[in-house]
Amino acid sequence: MEKKEKKKRHSSNNETRPVEGQPARPGQGAEVLSRRELLRRAGMLGGAAALPVSIARAAPRKVPVQEPFETLTATESDTLEAIVSRLIPTDENGPGAAEARAAHYIDHALTGPLSVSRDAYSSGLEAVDRYAETSRGIRFAELPTEEQDSLLTEMENGTATGFSPDSATFFNLVRAHTIEGTFCDPYYGGNANFVGWDLIGYPGVRTSVTEEEQDIDADLEPNRMSAYDYPMFTKGGA
Amino acid sequence: MPIDLEPTDVVLVGVGAVGGVAALPLTSAGLDVIGLEAGNWLTARDFAPDELRNNVRGWPQSVQKANREVPTHRRSEGAPYSPRPSVHPMMNAVGGTSLHYWGQSWRLNPWDFRVVSETARRYGAGRIPAGSTVEDWPFGLEELEPYYDAVEYEVGISGQAGNINGTIDERGNIFEGPRQREYPMPPLRGSGFTELMSDAARGLGWHPFPGPAAIASQTYDGRPGCVYHGFCSRGGCHVNAKSSTAVSTIPKAMDTGRFSVVTRARVSRIEVDNDRRVRGVTYFKDGEEYFQPADAVLLASYVYENVRMLLLSKSAAYPEGLSNNHGQVGRHYFTHNHRGWVTALFPFDLNNWYGAAAQGVAVDDWADDNFDHAGLDFIGGGNLWVYTERRPINAAGMNTFGRAPRWGSEWKSFIRENADRWTGSYLQKTTLPYEDNYLDLDPNVTDPYGDPVCRITADFKENEIRLTEFAQDRMVEWFTAAGAIETIRNDIETMGPATHAYGGTRMGRDPDTNVVDEWGFSHEAPNLGILGGSVMGTSGARNPTLTAQALAWRTAAHLAGNWSTIAG
């Protein structure tokens, strides 16, 4: 059997997505979409699809600097943005947690489903900055990236001091939520513009998949659909 | 004082995978049945393909009852408590966890009913592990076969038979016991990945086959076939192809006009009369307390709540809990030894994004007593299962196989390359009951209504640990034959709250070691029947639901057929 040695990569686009708490956009029917319609919605007709991957990736969407947070304080959000940006960095492999808006995902979730972790973020983010100042002289967000990475490694190993119960616990909490915020359904405010799903080659939420589409060599185009772009689904719980 | 309701023939405590089945033979026989369900109705529109909601945050429970009574766990008496999960493994809703389970719907193999006698016959009685309380079932597979058949056809199971009346068909499981006819539907289709694994298994001389699933593979009973969209695990079905009881036996029972489902009904106690018979149940709904009289009660919650409900229902006749005058309620508990998976990394994309966890390929060559244990230091075995359905958060959270750190650019590059190149496996392995593994009421932790939650005191023993190593060796062999370049053996873990829990109200003829008789009725309270995995005394090497459903049908049919004797 011929094996693909490298999966095809897909570019991001700049389409805005529905977010939690807002109604789905009208006109996003659950009808069977033609391939052309899928490509159109994906912004891939008219030449974009032909762009080399490296060029298509080169212009990730910038997150507005002044975009407000819902529950995190200014200092907390600075530190959290800096952490998630090192956990999943923007680099030669394309957009990362910053473009995915993982910190905004976490901020919003802390007002609801993750509210049980709100205090852990207050105390943990403060401990990060306190440890950055005592060990390196300045707040985490102002450190050079190499120093941020070495500090995060100390947190991961549980050797950074001043955390309750320990730095590894807080590191693992933020890591798990950063992965959620980068790879979740964009409905929740993360994985903006599908940058997370594009990174790992996930072709997107579908409501039906054919036998051919499950072939080991099938190469599916990303459909850039949120579950809640399909109007049949309601949101309830969690 | 509770509000007294009109009497009914039978009250079901729980309308899930087993209560939802039992309702059909009861009402078909002309009995009036009221089903008390803690949850609400959920429908196709509730079942969005949303990994964060379903898999990360633990499903939109229609009510929070189960999550408020998550059992506590310790490995042994005196051991520290394990961390208590915030989400219960099962859910409350009409149809229960059959709404969002994987749907693997196995019959047990013949050996599973005869572990003690078959082990003694083949290897000597000394091979039963020390401390195990395992018994032969009071009957063999042949007694349960007609009920398996009824459930397969009424619920809607797809699969490939391997043994029809003794004629072996190598497309199916050649190790299964005789069945009277084919499944009502062909098996779910394969995928590129499952074909890769099937070819590898055949190359090893093994006998791979597609597993049975409570998922329609084609139109059945007016429901469409599976659409393989990849959100089946902990996700309900948006086209109703999954054969939950909510779309199969429950509506059929309601069509008789004799089945009423009361939703958001939280049962608090089973009540007893002066003759040690049960007389009905007390429940709360929307702030009001009710008493529902019934001539017979079928307790059809999950293992933990079945046991807790009995232990909470104390009375003069049953001072240590209902049906517990022999001290057997909570004994012989175990969870399936179904952790200890093997994870593999391949050097090519598997395109495993879609499908369903029940779309897979099984190998039964190393299950039960399907191979010679003479030179081995354990009894039993494991069913090996690989499957489709990959979701993005889970994919990105993959194990890095020691090849990359857990974050940063190097990690990002690794998951970019490998998110679709790894897979897990599901190794379900024989688990035995032991004298020091049990359930009781927690002395310190209560639910919001002040009742103690269930406490688990249990851990795996040497037989389970040795068997896990053996099954993992076979799984590594299989993955390697299919081209995997790395494998990881995951930890066996322990017996905390689980989706495959067994025992606590075990079935058997001896009231000194069992709570219910061979028909599923209490040895002490004759008009109390108990349904679910709590009556099962062995696990087999496969998912319990179909067996629990077949037993539920059998208990219900027995009640209907002996109504005046049992309920009179």
B195: chain A residues, CB-CB within 8 Å: 216
pLDDT in tens, A62-94: 554 457 899 999 999 999 999 999 999 999 999
Name which of B460, B433, B434, B455 is nearest B444 in CA terms. B455
How confident is the model at residue B104, as a pLDDT? 98
Share of chain A above pLDDT 70, in %: 71
Mean pLDDT of A100-109: 98
Q: Does B360 touch chain A (CB under 8 A)?
A: no
CB contacts < 8 A, A to B, total: 163
Beta bridge partners of B298: B12, B529
* Portion of chain B with pLDDT greater than 70, in percent: 99
What are B348-358's pLDDT values in tens digits?
999 999 999 99
Determine the distance in angstroms separating the CA of B150 from the nearest CA of chain A, rounded to an integer: 30
Chain Cα centroid distance, residue A158: 25
B72 phi/psi in degrees, rounded to 5:
-90, 165
Nearest CA to B188 among B221, B156, B210?
A: B210
What's the CA gap between B549 and B562, in Å, rounded? 20
Q: In Å, how far is A229's CA from the nearest CA of chain B?
A: 10
Q: Does B243 touch chain A (CB under 8 A)?
A: no
For B72-90, what is the mean pLDDT?
A: 95
Res B329 pLDDT > 60: yes
Q: What does the block give as tokens for B361?
A: 């390929």
Nearest to B257 by CA among B27, B41, B37, B94: B27
Residue by residue, DSSP assigns A145-169 as HHHHHHHHHHHHHT---S-SS-HHH
In SS3 terms, B458-512 reads as CCCCHHHHHHHHHHHHHHHHHHHHCCCCEEEECCCCCCCCCCCEECCCCECCCCC
- Class of residue A23 by CB neighbours under 10 A (exposed 0-12, middle 13-18, buried 19+): exposed
- CB-based contact, B191 to chain A, within 8 Å: yes
A39-65 pLDDT, tens digit each: 334 433 333 333 333 433 444 455 544
Whether ipTM > 0.90 holds is yes
Report how far residue A9's alpha carbon sits from residue A22's, in angstroms, rounded to the nearest whole number. Answer: 30
Could you check whether the bond before residue B497 is cis, i.e. omega within 30 degrees of 0? Answer: no
Please give the span between the terminal C-alpha atoms of chain A, in angstroms, as a whole number: 43
User: For residue range B477-518, what is the model confidence (pLDDT) as tens digits?
Assistant: 999 999 999 999 999 999 999 999 999 999 999 999 999 999
pLDDT, tens only, A27-38 = 333 333 443 344
Cβ-Cβ contacts under 8 Å, B347 against chain A: 3, 5
Predicted pLDDT at B274:
86
- Other Cβ atoms less than 10 A from the Cβ of A117: the count is 17
Q: Considering only A53-57, A117-121, B182-186, B492-496, which range has the smallest mean pLDDT?
A: A53-57
Question: What is the per-residue burial (b if ≥16 Cβ within 10 Å, else e) of B118-152?
Answer: bbeeebeeebbbeebbbbbbbeebeebbebbbbbb
Residue B97 has pLDDT above 90, yes or no: yes
Q: What is the pLDDT of residue B116?
A: 98
A146 touches chain B (CB under 8 A): no
DSSP state of B221: T
Helix spans in B399-461 (H): 408-418
For the ranges A230-234, B272-276, B459-463, the one whose mean pLDDT is highest: B459-463
Q: Which of A182, A203, A211 has the CB atom closest to B353's CB atom?
A: A203
pTM above threshold 0.95: no
Question: Which string of DSSP letters, residue by residue, matches B241-298?
Answer: -B--GGGTHHHHHHHTT-EEEETT-EEEEEEE-TTS-EEEEEEEETTEEEEEEEEEEE
Measure CB to CB from residue B395 to each of A87, A149, A200 and give the nearest one. Answer: A200
Q: Which chain A residues contact residue B351 at CB under 8 A?
A: 214-218, 220
Q: Which two tokens stand for residue A188?
A: 């929740």
Q: How far is B72 from chain A (nearest CA, A)?
A: 20
Q: How far is CA B168 from the centre of its chain?
A: 27
**Does residue A19 carry a pLDDT above 60?**
no
Residues in chain B: 568
> Which chain B residues are closer than 8 Å to A149 by Cβ?
408
Nearest residue on chain A to B408, judged by CA atoms?
A87
Residue B541, phi then psi, degrees to nearest 5: -115, 35
Report the distance separating Cα B563 and Cα B32, nearest Å: 12
A202 and B353 within 8 Å at the Cβ level: the answer is: yes
Is B414's Cβ below 8 Å from some Cβ in A? no
Q: Which residues of B are less than 8 Å from A86 in CB distance?
A: 407-408
Using pLDDT thresholds of 50, 70 and 90, give the confidence band for residue A16. Answer: very low
> Please, what's the b/e burial string for B36-45 (b: 16 or more CB within 10 A of its CB; e: otherwise)?
bbbbeebeee
| Element holding B385 (H helix, E strand) | strand B382-387
Residue A129 at interface with chain B, using a CB cutoff of 8 Å: no
Q: Please give the Cα distance from B429 to B434 (Å, whole number).
A: 16
Q: Which of B50-59, B111-120, B270-279 has the lowest mean pLDDT?
A: B50-59
Residues B335-390 pLDDT 10s: 999 999 999 999 999 999 999 999 999 999 999 999 999 999 999 999 999 999 99
Residue A13 pLDDT > 90, yes or no? no
Instruction: Look at residue B64 in the predicted model and tell me its pLDDT.
Output: 79
B-contacting residues of A 9-68, CB under 8 Å? none
Question: What three-state secondary structure class fits A198?
Answer: helix
The mean predicted confidence, pLDDT, of chain B is 97
Residues in chain A: 238
Question: CA dihedral in degrees (A127, A132, A137, A143; nearest 10)?
Answer: -140
A39 closest CA partner among A31, A47, A29: A47
Residues of B in contact with A176 (CB under 8 A): 397
φ/ψ region of B355 (left if φ > 0, alpha if ψ in -120 to 50, else beta) reads left
Nearest Cα neighbor of B431 from B561, B336, B355, B510 is B336
Element (H, E) at B117: helix B115-123
Q: What is the pLDDT of residues B56-78, one digit of tens each?
A: 988 766 677 999 999 999 999 99
Judged by phi (left if over 0) then psi (alpha if -120 to 50, else beta), residue A214 lies in alpha
The verdict on a CB contact (< 8 Å) between A175 and B407 is: yes
Tell me what the mean pLDDT of segment B276-290 comes to: 97
pLDDT at A15 over 70: no
Which pLDDT belongs to residue B86? 86
